[in-house]
Structure formats: structure tokens, C-alpha cells
Structure 1
Amino acid sequence: MKQTIIILLPVLLVLVFGCKEGNQKNKAMQETASTWEIDFFDDFDAFNPENWQDQRIWVNNENHCYVPDGEFGTREVSDGTLKIKVVNIGEKRPCDNFDKHGNQHPDTEYVAGRICSKNRKEFIKGRWTARLRLSGNGEASMFPAWWLLGAQNNEPPVQEADENICWPMTGSGEIDIFEHHGDHMKDAFTTGAIVSLGECDKGDWESKRRNFPATLNEFHEYSVEWEGSDLVYRLDGEEVYRNEGEGDKYPEPMFAILNYAKITDSPMEGEWVMEVDWVKHEFRK
């Protein structure tokens, strides 16, 4: 009987570990087969109103006025790229931007561009990527951004009956893929999720966001993807940061925003430019 056990034991070990290795190989093959497929791509040969619309709003005590239709060159497409700008027009003019409480922006000499895919291209989860660069960085007041917002957000433009949820509650959550705070950094960007504190207009901007180095005046790909329950942030395809478990807090469709803001009273001359080569969204096939 002992001899039989001795003979069968190696066989059993081979069977057990063989099955385990086989399962691991099958899992690896399944993960490899699960690829990203593009369902939205804009390479900005022209400004496509089926993909984007101007978003004219006063938020964050910004010093500029968002203007429509690329007035003063604040939003233009040329040479195959989109340029979003802040421009000093040299004299103060009235601004018809309002905040969500009905307050009108004061007169200002600064104008800017902001576009969003709200009610154009909205997706649940997946991966958003933009390839972009800045004409300069590290100047006071500079605040360009590439980010996502929940499709039921109640800030202008309000175009559907269900756009009645205040930031950053579920339905109006925020994910920041790329922000550059010129007041605080040079050759670096901020990425991460805004944590809802469970009340209107109350969000945690600190705990889930981090700063990372990048040569901002060169083109890079900035992306966020849902990987299981995590939000994964990538620079040129390489993971730089991860919000573990935060992906489960964004079940809603989200739209994309590209904007250039001026956020303090520091003076500026001329214009600031964020140049966008392309934007895409992908989903797991």
C-alpha cells in the first residue's frame, strides 16, 4: 500500500499543479484577448459641433470670460490641432458668463476658450486619452485642464431634464486627467479624482490627487481608465497613479472638457495656448 501511495503521489502533484498552470495560462490568454477598442476619436481637422460645444460658465472665481465661437482666437483649429487659449485683449469688456447661482462675471480684459462633449459624446467608464502640449508653463494664474464631469451636472449648459445634480455628487462627479497650476509648479501636472463629501459643492481636492513631472511644452498622452474598481492614470501609456476603489464611485456617463483658465489676479500679456492633437475614448472589447 505504501508503494502505491509513493507511486501515485507524483502523479497527483502533476495533475494538481498542471491544472493550476493551465488555469493561469487561460486567464492570461483571456486578459490578452480583452483589448481596448476606439468608439470615439477626434483628430481636429476641423471643429466638429457633433462632438463638442462651447461651455460658457463662471466657476472657481476665474478671472477671464469664456467667449463663444472662438472669438479673439480663444478656440481655433489649424494645422491639424485644436488651440484652446487665454487671451489678453487689452481692455476690459462686459462678460455674460454666470455662475450657477445667477451671479454675473465682472468686466474683464481676459477671454478664454472652454469646450465640452456634454450631450455630444458621453460614456460610462472606459478610457479617455488626449494628446496635448502647452506653449509655456509655470506662469502665475495659468490653469489649463483636461478632465471629465458627470453628465447630469446642473451647471450651464443645461439641456436635458435630468441635468439637475450638483457637483460633485454621483451623477456630477469629477475626474481630473490633466491640470497644470502655474502658481505652484513648472514642468509638472496634477491628476486624480475629486472625492465627494456627500453635499452639494463640497469636494475633497487633496486626498486623491497627486503631482507628476512632465515636459509640458512637448506633446504627451494623458489618460484615465477604469480597471476593475480602480481609476488608473497614465502618461504616454505608462501608469503614474492609481485611485484604488474610486472607479466604483463613478457609475454615471461622463463627458470631457478641455479648457484654459486664468485663476488669480496676476497680470498676463499676450496669450497662453493649450494645443490638442487628438482626443479619444475606448472601451474594453
Structure 2
Amino acid sequence: MARGPRRDEELWLDGDEEAPRPTASARKPLEGRAKTLAPESANGTVAQLFPNRGGVRLDSRPGIVLCNYRLATLAVRGERRERSPVCVGDRVRVEGDVIVGRCERRNALARLAPNARNPVVHVIAANVDVLVVVAAAREPDFTPGFVSRLLAAAAEQGVAGVVCANKADLLEPGAARPWTDFASAAAAVVECSARSGAGVAELDRLVRGKAAAFCGNSGVGKTSLLRRLLGDDSYGRVAELSAATGKGRHTTTGAILLPGPGSSTWIDTPGIMDFEGASSR
């Protein structure tokens, strides 16, 4: 028998895949928005999310620290519900091993969470300079409407847009290049191949030194491109952290914030099937 729509409280995963059954501690409704703190109060950045826990990169030391957060402390009632009071990219205050608050977001890339019976906002990433919409030149087919909606959401938040057509090495001579139409829509356009490395230097120029989120459908090669940009062939083959064990995992079910070269911070997100924008800060 096919499973029905997911319950609202199951929507902590970033992708559109089925979520595991929540534990008792994860069944509380995620009401409202997080309380905000002054920017100078922050001492870390959320790098990964799990039910009622987050992996935080502290300013004072390298690596990720797994922290709890209390909904009663972070969440306040608002017009719309967010499925988590913090998201990847949030600047937060950590005391001990608990996230006690987050700072005001300068922007947030958000959508309406899929399959929710009631409107729930899923914030994909916060505090970014650039949204890289990764699409495939071939396999899967390029979807202009999906790309347009992501770019519109970025523009509404004051985030620069980049359209990256990956797998350009699979194009036949003379094949159509519909992504070039976005070059006139205030978005940079780059063709590249994560497999061969062609065009990756141009993409690096657009995101180096910036906070960039990489979003797109499943199978377009977001993680492969980041592997090239990071110069780390092992990245994405084992995810950074498991909520249960603190060890690596072989599948990525949520967004991950990665330290790039210099001051770069890049957010890898799992594939999403569709995007309906929603404003959330």
C-alpha cells in the first residue's frame, strides 16, 4: 500500500524524499519563527540540521559540533510555520551544547514544504550572497520554469543568481542551449562539466570568497561540482556527520555548509523536484 502524505513534523529533511518515522521528541509541532539575537551575540553558524539538533561550526574552533535546540526557547508564534526554527547558514548562539538563539537573517531562500497538509515554510539556506542554480545540459532535461522560480526567489531576497549548466560535455554539436536565455535576466550563466573540469574555473570565479548555495533537481551534479571546486575527491561520497553516531554517512539527506577556499562558504543541498517560493526571514 502506498504511503500517504508526510505529516508536517516529518518535514525536517531538505529534499523531497520520504522521511523516516519521527521519534517521540520530534513530534512536537514546529510553530512560528525563531527568536532573534543581536549579530554580536553569535558564536557559530549552522552547518547541518537534524530533528531537534543541529551541527554548528563554531567561530572558535574548526569542525562541526552537534548541538541540541529547544523549541520552547527558539520558536515564537508567527503568521507562518517553519519546519525548523533554524536553518543551514543561520548565525546562532551556542551555550554548552545547546543552540539558545539565532541572529536576524539578512536573507533566506525559502519554499513551501512539499506534501504538507498545512502551509509550512522550508528555509533552504540563509545569509547567502549567491544562489547557484545547477541544471543539467542533458540527463535530466533542462527545466526553464524550475530555474526561473529559483532565480525569482533569489532576486526577491537580494541574492545574486548564477545558472550553471552542468554535463555540457554530453551536448551534441549544434544542440539547443536554452539556459543562455537567462543571461539577460540579471543572472550569470556558465556551462561546465564536473566530469572533465571544463568551465569549473569560471564557476569558481563567481563563488569564491562568497556564501553560495547550490540548488537544483536530483541528478544534475551539484555535489560533483562542489567536489571539483573544493579539490576534494572524497567529498559527497561520505557525508560529514550523522546525528546518531557523529560519523560520516553515505547519503546526504539535508543541506551541508562547507568551508571553501579563503572566506568562501558553500552550501550543498539535496535535490528537489519542484520549487514554490515562500518569504521567510
What TM-score does the superposition give when structure 2 sets the normalisation length? 0.25
Q: Which has the higher contact order (CA 8 A, sep 6+)?
A: 1
More strand by share: 1
Question: Counting helix residues as a fraction of each chain, which structure ranks higher?
Answer: 2
Rg comparison, structure with higher value = 1
